Each structure stands twice: as structure tokens, then as C-alpha cells.
């Protein structure tokens, strides 16, 4: 039967943005169902709002129901034809019609109690609905496909369904499930030597690990994905993997290597005409040059990245570029220009309602005001930070705001007010078990009491700070000894 040859491994999997579905070599795949296709993956971008799902899967036939009348059944070859029609419609970018056709195929397969056809239609519907942005529906179809595939010998389709589940979970912000599904897909794909399925799984793992700051794991996944993407001629995953690798290397302080990888990413992004990819590659180069103390080159590249990101509406790159530009100008002792970039970053964060970026920008802006001697402006910035961090329940930023207010008031020689802020910072640090913050606050309280000629209280705070420092050092030494013992 045709369907047993036309597996999802034959057709390949494409997880792309909902606007541009593209099959790789799908025409030849439909004509020659026993050949393998090269899938393409999505660009490394997230969709802000989750699509709402509709219940589109037909009801299954009850186990104890009577066998349908043969006259009402659809011949198997007609079901195969429906599936092929659906694939052709998908290839033509006509997702609504492809979905309708494959829903008809699913209903007919269930009427005929044909699990191979049913599992294939379910898996394809998962692929189609994730491309339509209906992530909950895609999850439902793919979970049904996994269940159906338990009694069908089609491991490649199982890999595809798991990859849809992983990508759908990622796009809905359920990153632990995204990792779990993708790890399962990767293991199965490796067992059956299914490179396209392996590539899709590695891509989701690399981008998910990067999103949660697990850069060593992100780098490992990206390293594995890069040669696969090259051999599969999958430019989009290659670009995404290069950018993930470059970002991860920056976090791992491998700046020279990160720069080289980012330059490769820029070449691929230019060939693919990917503005997002170009912006990120340019920005990663700028960060690398900044870390290598080449400030002029960092400024040049971040300005270019900022322009591309603004034109393409890529927010995360805009935030990074504005931050690095502020740092670079600050290191050139051009504090006023640095403040201007922080202010632009703050405005952007408020316009885009990006609370995390707003918290960061207020902190950095207040610190820059302090360094430039604009203490009244610093107090205003830290006051805003204190209010926002309290509203958003961000204790670390609350502590930093109180410390900043304390510093500003010390400069204004308002020591009682400064003392009050440092005491609040100490209380917050204790409440979140922030030993570093506790040590810093105790030291600052010792200094402010010394400035007020309260020698006894200054000595008490200094003694507490020294005790915490000794405890932390002892913990560090113990960890180092344990690590050495494990290596031996």
C-alpha cells in the first residue's frame, strides 16, 4: 500500500513560522515515496501571543461499536489520494486547504480502522497546525499521533511528532517540556539514524538551552547541529545554530572563537537575507570586540546591528546593542553619551512593555548618574526602580535600588537617610539568602556609621561582614577540594 511507503521520514518535517511553510524537494518525494527529503527549520524567533486552539480532530470510533457498513467506507486508495492531495496543498503554501483535506483523510482512516493512515494524518496535522500558530492544537494532534504510533512500525513519524511537541512546548514557553520532548526525539532519531529528525531536535534543544541561560548545553547542541545543517543544506538551522554557538561562546568567555563564529553567521545571514540573523550576528561581533577591548570596532558594529534590528523590529538585539554602546562610550569616559543610550534603552523597554529591560535600564541609568555626579537624577532613577521592583516582586532589584539610594545620599552627606536605605538593602539580602548582598550592605553600614562617628556600631557591622566573608571563603575552599577529589 502506498501509505506504508509514504512515511513522515519520507516527507520530512518543517517547523517554520506560520507565514512561510516550505517543503524541501517535496515534489520529488510525492512522486517517489521511498526517497528521503531534506526538511527545513524555523528561524530563531519567538511568537509573542499563543494562538488559541480549536477542537478539530474527529472523534475516534468506540471500541465496542459495530463494524461500519462496507458501503459507507472509503476505499483505502482514496484515503491515500487524500493524503497526497493534502501534501501537495501544503507544498503550495495552502495550509487551510491542506488541513481540511488531511482532516478528511483522518476521518476516513478512522472509519476504516487503519492505524498507519490515521497516525500519518495525525502527525501531518500536527505539522500543519504548528505552522498555523495553533500550538495547543498541534500538541493535541501530535500526542494522538504518538499514541497511534505505539502499534505502528514507523519510528521516523514518532520522531516527527516528538519534534512537533518539543517545538510547540517551546513556543508556548513550556521550556522543560520542550527539552524533554526534544531529548526523546533526539535519542530515537540517533537510534534509527534519522538525521533530519536529529537536526530538528538539536535545534530546539540549542535555542531552548540558550533561552534559559544554560550556555554550555546550548553550545554542545549547536555544535552538533552545525555539521548536520551543512550536510542537509538547511541554511536556516545553520544560521540559528551559528548564532547560538556565538552567543554561548561569549558567555563562556571564548571571545576570539565567538567572533569567528559570529562572522560565519553574518555570511550565512547575508546569503539568506535574514535581517534578524544579520542583526544578531553583528551584535555578537560587537560584544566580542568590546570584550577584547576594541571599543571603536564594538561601537561601529553595534551601531550597525542597532539599525538593522530597528528596521526589522528585533527587540532583543536592540536592547543588547544599546547596552553595549552605553558600556563602550562609558569606557571611553564619554558618560553623557552612555547616559543617552541608557535613556533610549529605558524608553524602548517602556514602549515595548518589557519589564525586565526596564528594570535593568533604570539600574544602569541610576548608576551612570551616580558616576557623573548627578545625584538628584540618580535618586529619581533609583526611586523608580524601587517602586517597579516592589510591584513586580523582584527582590534583587529592590536591594540594588536601596543600595543606589544609599550611595546617592552618602554623596549628598545625608548619612541618616543613607543608613536607612542600606538597612533596607540588608534586610532584603537576608530575606533572599543573598550572602554577597548581605556582605556589601554590612560593609556600607559600617562605613556610614563611621562617617557619623558611631565607632562602636561601625565596628559591629564590620565584624559581621568579616564573618560572612570568612564563611563564604570556607565554602568556596570546600567546593574546590571536593572538585579536586572527584577529578582524582
SS (H, E, C) 347-367: HHHHHCCCHHHHHHHHHHHHH
118: enclosing H helix or E strand: helix 115-131
Residue 28: closest CA among 98, 87, 97, 105: 87
Residue 2: closest CA among 84, 85, 104: 84
Predicted pLDDT at 184: 96
Instruction: Examine the pLDDT at 159 and tell me if it is beyond 70.
Output: yes
15-29, 72-86, 139-153, 350-364: lowest mean pLDDT where? Answer: 15-29
Spatial separation of the C-alpha atoms in residues 57 and 59, rounded to whole Å: 7
pLDDT, mean over the chain: 85
Spatial separation of the C-alpha atoms in residues 186 and 199, rounded to whole Å: 8
Spatial separation of the C-alpha atoms in residues 421 and 218, rounded to whole Å: 40
The residues spanned by each domain of the chain are 1-43+76-212
351, 325 Cβ separation under 8 angstroms: no
| pLDDT, tens digit (0-9, with 9 covering 90-100), for 253-279 | 999 999 999 999 999 999 999 999 999
Spatial separation of the C-alpha atoms in residues 96 and 88, rounded to whole Å: 12
> What's phi and psi for 15, nearest 5 deg?
-115, 100
User: Which is it for the CA torsion 434, 436, 439, 440, positive or negative?
Assistant: negative
Distances (CA, A) of 126 to 5, 136, 139, 142: 20, 10, 7, 5
Instruction: Examine the pLDDT at 71 and tell me if it is beyond 60.
Output: no
| Fold type of domain 1-43+76-212 | 1.25.40
| pLDDT, tens digit (0-9, with 9 covering 90-100), for 398-430 | 999 999 999 999 999 999 999 999 999 999 999
147, 97 Cβ separation under 8 angstroms: no
233: left (phi > 0), else alpha (psi -120 to 50), else beta? left
Residue 293: closest CA among 252, 344, 335, 327: 327
29-43, 126-140, 342-356: lowest mean pLDDT where? Answer: 29-43
Predicted pLDDT at 15: 35
| pLDDT, tens digit (0-9, with 9 covering 90-100), for 88-108 | 998 888 999 999 999 999 999
Task: Establish how many alpha carbons lie within 13 A of residue 477's alpha carbon, considering only the half-sphere containing its beta carbon.
Answer: 6
| pLDDT, tens digit (0-9, with 9 covering 90-100), for 312-364 | 999 999 999 999 999 999 999 999 999 999 999 999 999 999 999 999 999 99
Instruction: Examine the pLDDT at 248 and tell me if it is beyond 70.
Output: yes
Residue 297: closest CA among 346, 273, 332: 332
Vertex 427, ends 424 and 431: CA angle to 5°? 140
Predicted pLDDT at 49: 33
283-287 CB contacts, 8 Å cutoff, 24+ apart: 283/309, 283/317, 283/320, 283/321, 283/324, 284/243, 284/246, 284/247, 284/250, 284/258, 285/259, 286/321, 286/324, 287/250, 287/258, 287/320, 287/324
| pLDDT, tens digit (0-9, with 9 covering 90-100), for 166-180 | 999 999 999 999 999
C-alpha cell at 74: 472509503
Amino acid at each position: 500500500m502506498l501509505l506504508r511507503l509514504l512515511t513522515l521520514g519520507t516527507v520530512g518535517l518543517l517547523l517554520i513560522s506560520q507565514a512561510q511553510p516550505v517543503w524541501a524537494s517535496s515534489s520529488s518525494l510525492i512522486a517517489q515515496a521511498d526517497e528521503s527529503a531534506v526538511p527545513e527549520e524555523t528561524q530563531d524567533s519567538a511568537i509573542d501571543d499563543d494562538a488559541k486552539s480549536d477542537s478539530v480532530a474527529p472523534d475516534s470510533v468506540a471500541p465496542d461499536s459495530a463494524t461500519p457498513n462496507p458501503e459507507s467506507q472509503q476505499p483505502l486508495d482514496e484515503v491515500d489520494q487524500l493524503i497526497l492531495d493534502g501534501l501537495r496543498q501544503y507544498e503550495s503554501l495552502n495550509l487551510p486547504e491542506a488541513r481540511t483535506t488531511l482532516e478528511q483523510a483522518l476521518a476516513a482512516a478512522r472509519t476504516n480502522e487503519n492505524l498507519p493512515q490515521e497516525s500519518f494524518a495525525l502527525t501531518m496535522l500536527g505539522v500543519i497546525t504548528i505552522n498555523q500558530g495553533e500550538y495547543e492544537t498541534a500538541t493535541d494532534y501530535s500526542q494522538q499521533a504518538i499514541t497511534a504510533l505505539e502499534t505502528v512500525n514507523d519510528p521516523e513519524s514518532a520522531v516527527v511528532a516528538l519534534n512537533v511537541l518539543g517545538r510547540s512546548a517551546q513556543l508556548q514557553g513550556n521550556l522543560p517540556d520542550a527539552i524533554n520532548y526534544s531529548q526523546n526525539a533526539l535519542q530515537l532519531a540517533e537510534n534509527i539514524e534519522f538525521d533530519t529528525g536529529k537536526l530538528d531536535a538539536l535545534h530546539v534543544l540549542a535555542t531552548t538551552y540558550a533561552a534559559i541561560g544554560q550556555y554550555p548545553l546550548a553550545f554542545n547542541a549547536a555544535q552538533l547541529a552545525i555539521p548536520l545543517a551543512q550536510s542537509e543544506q538547511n541554511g536556516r538551522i545553520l544560521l540559528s545554530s551559528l548564532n547560538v554557538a556565538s552567543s554561548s561562546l561569549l558567555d563562556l568567555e571564548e571571545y576570539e572563537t565567538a567572533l569567528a563564529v559570529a562572522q560565519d553567521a553574518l555570511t550565512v545571514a547575508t546569503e539568506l537575507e535574514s535581517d534578524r540573523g544579520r542583526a544578531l550576528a553583528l551584535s555578537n561581533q560587537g560584544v566580542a570586540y568590546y570584550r577584547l577591548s576594541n571599543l571603536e570596532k564594538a561601537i561601529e558594529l553595534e551601531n550597525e546591528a542597532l539599525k538593522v534590528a530597528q528596521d526589522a523590529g528585533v527587540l532583543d538585539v536592540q536592547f543588547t546593542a544599546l547596552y553595549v554602546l552605553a558600556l563602550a562610550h562609558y569606557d571611553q569616559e564619554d558618560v553623557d553619551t552612555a547616559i543617552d543610550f541608557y535613556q533610549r534603552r529605558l524608553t524602548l523597554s517602556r514602549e515595548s512593555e518589557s519589564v525586565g529591560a526596564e528594570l535593568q535600564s533604570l539600574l544602569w541609568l541610576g548608576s551612570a548618574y551616580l558616576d557623573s555626579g548627578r545625584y538628584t537624577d540618580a535618586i529619581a532613577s533609583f526611586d523608580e526602580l524601587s517602586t517597579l521592583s516592589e510591584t513586580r516582586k523582584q527582590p534583587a532589584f529592590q536591594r540594588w535600588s536601596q543600595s543606589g539610594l544609599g550611595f546617592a545620599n552618602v554623596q549628598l552627606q545625608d548619612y541618616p537617610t543613607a543608613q536607612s536605605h542600606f538597612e533596607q538593602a540588608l534586610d532584603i539580602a537576608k530575606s533572599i539568602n543573598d550572602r554577597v548582598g548581605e556582605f556589601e550592605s554590612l560593609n556600607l553600614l559600617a562605613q556610614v556609621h563611621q562617617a557619623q562617628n558611631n565607632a562602636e556600631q561601625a565596628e559591629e557591622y564590620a565584624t559581621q561582614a568579616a564573618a560572612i566573608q570568612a564563611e563564604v571563603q570556607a565554602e568556596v575552599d570546600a567546593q574546590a577540594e571536593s572538585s579536586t577529589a572527584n577529578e582524582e
